[in-house]
Amino acid sequence: MNIVACVKQVPDTEALIKVKPDGSGIDEGGIKWVMNPYDEYGVEEALRLKEAKGGEVTIVSVGPARAMETIRTALAMGAEKGVHVSDPLLDNTDAYTTAAALAAVIKGLNPDIIFCGQRAIDDDSGQVGSILAAILGIPQVTIVTKLEMADGKIKAIKPIEGAQLVIESTLPCVITTQKGLNEPRYASLPGIMKAKKKPVDVKNAAALGIATEPKAKVAKMTPPPDRAPGKIIAGDDPAAKAAELVRLLREEAKVI
């Protein structure tokens, strides 16, 4: 079976994010980059499927040169090979262009199933998997927490408000993965060492023949406003302080 898992490199959830003064994006200095956690579920599921049914897992990522580390991480977990779409013209591009780049790579891989994280934790757009399925013209099941495969079909479980849907789909299809699907494995040391030698194709936009002009652009990025400092009510008389507290809660905070 040909299995593809798409991964994105994102800042670690704990990283200190500073917006560039011109609002064009974030300042990347000092950031620890990791694999998007939702993509990890996809890689893990791809590996489990391969272990159960045989086949090969290919990792595809669109991102700057540093994204290679994330591809290697997935290879260390056990994937066979990788494709890295690396092109300055695609840096910080939109969901559509990313999906188009992925589609261009994946078409040539002739996959049976494709995994994407349900969203990336950096821009939270949650569109790439769906656009990818649309471009490839294949079905998609999103936000999956359980997956089974039998007789050339998949059966997926997707939680919805207060219930869950059981969805069947033919193959090939795109699955977007949600927390709960599995526990991603820890790479073994031989895995890490072998990953250094596994093949990764590096391609640019021209080689894939895709348009690089994004359809959507981030016009401006602003940091969330600083939290207003707390107030300490001074005074010696507890009754007066309590009265002041009530007044502030009603008039300033408007919570009572």
Partner 1 sequence: MTHGGDILKVGNEGREVFWNAPFPTEPILFLFTAIVLAIAAYGVYLRWQMWTAIGKPEDRTDQPKERIRSLIINGLFQVRTFREYYAGIFHSLIFFGFFVLIFGAAVDATQFHIGLPFFHGKFYLWFSLLMEIFGLAVLAGVVMALVRRYVLKPDLLGYQGKPDNTFDDAVVLILIGAIIVTGFIIESLRIYVNYNLDGYTWEVWSFVGFALSHIYTGISYDSVRMAHKVMWWTHSFLTFAFIAYLPWSRLMHIITSPVNQYMKSLKPKGYLEPIRDFETAETFGVGKLEAFTWKQIFDSDACTRCGRCQDGCPAYLSKKPLSPKKLVQDIKTHWEDRVKIVLAARKLAKEKGGEPEIPPPDKALLGDVIDMHELWACTNCMYCMENCPVYVEHVPKIISMRQCKVLMDAEFSPELQLTYRNMENNSNPWGIGGHLRADWAKEIGVKTLAEDPNVEYLFYVGCSGSFDDRGKKVSVAFAKILKAAGVSFGILGTEEGCCGDSAMRGGNEYLYQSLAQANIELMNGYGVKKIICTCPHGYNALKKDYPHFGGNFEVYHHSEILADLIAGGRIRLKKAVSSLCTYHDSCFLGRYNDIYEQPRKVLSAVPGVRMVEMKRNLEKSFCCGAGGGRMWMEEDIGERINDMRTDQAIEAGAETIAVACPFCLTMMADGIKDRAMEEKMKSLDIAEIVWDAMDLEEAQAAPAAPSE
Give contact residues for partner 1 (rule: CB under 8 A): 12, 14-16, 30, 32, 34, 183, 185-193
Closest CB to partner 1 among residues 71, 156: 71
Distance CA 75, CA 19 (A): 32
Rounded to an integer, what distance in angstroms lies between the CA atom of residue 179 and that of residue 200? 27
CB of 192 to partner 1, least distance (A): 7
Q: Given the complex with partner 1, which of 21 and 230 has the nearer CB atom?
A: 230
The C-alpha atoms of residue 95 and residue 92 are separated, in whole angstroms, by 9
Query: C-beta of 30: minimal distance to partner 1 in Å?
Result: 7
- In whole angstroms, the minimum distance from the beta carbon of 200 to partner 1 comes to 19
116, 98 contact by CB (below 8 A): no
- Give least dist CB 235 to partner 1, A: 12
d(CA 32, CA 102): 24
Q: How far is the CB of 16 from partner 1 (least distance, A)?
A: 4
Residue 183 or 213: the one with the smaller Cβ distance to partner 1 is 183
Give Cα separations from 72 to 23, 29, 79, 163, 191 (angstroms). Answer: 31, 22, 9, 37, 10
The residue assigned the tokens 């950031």 is 31
Q: 64 or 191: whose CB is closer to partner 1?
A: 191
- For the CB of residue 18, give the shortest distance to partner 1 in the complex, in Å: 10
Q: How far apart are CA 214 and CA 203, in angstroms?
A: 18
Closest CB to partner 1 among 1 and 15?
15
Q: Indicate the residue among 89 and 121 with the shorter CB distance to partner 1.
A: 121
**Closer residue to partner 1, CB minimum distance, 211 or 245:** 245
Handedness of CA 107, 109, 113, 116 (dihedral sign): negative
Please spell the DSSP secondary structure of 9-52, one letter per residue.
EEE-TTS--EE-TTSSSEE-TTPPEEE-HHHHHHHHHHHHHHHH
H-helix or E-strand containing 238? helix 238-251
Whether the Cβ atoms of residue 56 and residue 5 lie closer than 8 Å to each other: no
In the complex, minimum distance from the CB of residue 198 to partner 1, in angstroms, rounded to a whole number: 16
Residue whose entry in the numeric block shows the structure tokens 């219930």: 163
